[in-house]
Amino acid sequence: MARKPLIAGNWKMNLNHLEAIGTVQKLFFALPTKYFDHVDVAVCPPFTDLRSVQTLVDSDDMPITYGGQDLSPEESGAFTGDISGAMLAKLGCTWVVVGHSERRTIHGEDDALVNRKVSAALKHSLTPILCLGEGEDVRESGAHVGHCTAQLDGALAGLSGDEVARIVIAYEPVWAIGTGKTATTQDAQEVCHALRARLRELHGGAVADAVRILYGGSVKSGNVKELVAQADIDGALVGGASLDPEGFAELCALA
């Protein structure tokens, strides 16, 4: 089944709201409109940039979508520092990254919390970009496929097939994030294939075929084409390389 590739830039804690405007403008001008028929392009800036990005995208009618990098599992209330799904939806976000390895490692997020965040995103009609992936030790032990499918099970616990069909999964081996080490296309395809097979077991073929599975981990212009050519890889979650708008545009055009 043909799934439209999605290239999503994860800016992490980079670029303030003024720099965000310049970056999105340059990205838009560097990527001829015709490419948007073939690839969905998204940016996930820091929360403080979202209003500026929304204003720009709306005023110039840009086909670029955007999202948050995290959300609270809670609706509202005494959760200092947190941002709710309703707030992101109100800002016109399409996406929200959930369970990024930096959230799991630095902020101790576990599968149960990630599961609650996925539900909160869906409740507010945001598409969660659910990140999962193994660390280097797990990869070396050979247990990476089981590790990733267990993370998937944990993140999707209790969700219906209709809900699962609305998510995007990003397989991001932790050892490849920001390190310059990319998984081989075969390694990436192996895990993405196993994730889709698990979706099929849990929710049937239609759901498994509908869900886009991205690869993330040191993706750049030089490797995106080969990765996206794999049967079960439907795009990329891009960190460092998404901060350079011209380079990111080139990467999107190649996908």
> Which of 122, 138, 167, 219 contacts ligand PEP by CB under 6 A?
219
Shortest Cβ 66–ligand PEP spacing (Å): 15
User: What is the DSSP annotation of 145-171?
Assistant: HHHHHHHHHHHHTT--HHHHTT-EEEE
CA separation for the pair 92, 101 (Å, rounded): 25
Binding mask 81-100 for ligand PEP (x = CB under 6 A): --------------------
User: Binding to ligand PEP (CB under 6 A): which residues in 153-182?
Assistant: 172, 177-178
The answer on whether 240 is annotated among ligand-binding residues is yes
Closer residue to ligand PEP (CB): 6 or 241: 241
**Chain residue whose CB lies nearest ligand PEP:** 239
Strands 40-44, 212-216: pairing is unpaired
Given 100, 109, 134, 203, the catalytic residue: 100
Q: Is 9 in the site for ligand PEP (CB under 6 A)?
A: no
Given 102, 109, 134, 172, the catalytic residue: 172
Whether 147 is catalytic is: no
Q: Is 218 in the site for ligand PEP (CB under 6 A)?
A: yes
Stretch that binds ligand PEP, among 42-50, 122-130, 161-169, 231-239 (CB under 6 A): 231-239
DSSP-derived 3-state class of residue 253: helix
Sign of CA dihedral 151, 155, 161, 165: negative
The helix (H) or strand (E) run that includes residue 247 is helix 245-254
Stretch that binds ligand PEP, among 51-59, 184-192, 199-207, 232-240 (CB under 6 A): 232-240
Beta strands in the chain (DSSP E): 6-10, 40-44, 65-68, 95-98, 127-132, 168-171, 212-216, 235-238
Closest CA to 114 of 132, 127, 126: 132
The answer on whether 218 is annotated among ligand-binding residues is yes
Token readout for 134 is 């193994």
Q: Is 239 in the site for ligand PEP (CB under 6 A)?
A: yes
Stretch that binds ligand PEP, among 21-29, 117-125, 190-198, 214-222 (CB under 6 A): 214-222
Whether 172 is catalytic is: yes
DSSP-derived 3-state class of residue 37: helix
Q: What is the CA radius of gyration of the chain?
A: 17
Token readout for 26 is 């340059």
DSSP-derived 3-state class of residue 94: coil
> Which of 39, 126, 195, 237 contacts ligand PEP by CB under 6 A?
237
Residues that bind ligand PEP (CB under 6 A): 10, 12, 172, 177-178, 216-219, 237-241
Binding-site residue positions: 10-12, 178, 218, 239-240
Active-site residues: which are they?
Answer: 100, 172
Binding-site residue positions for substrate: 10-12, 178, 218, 239-240
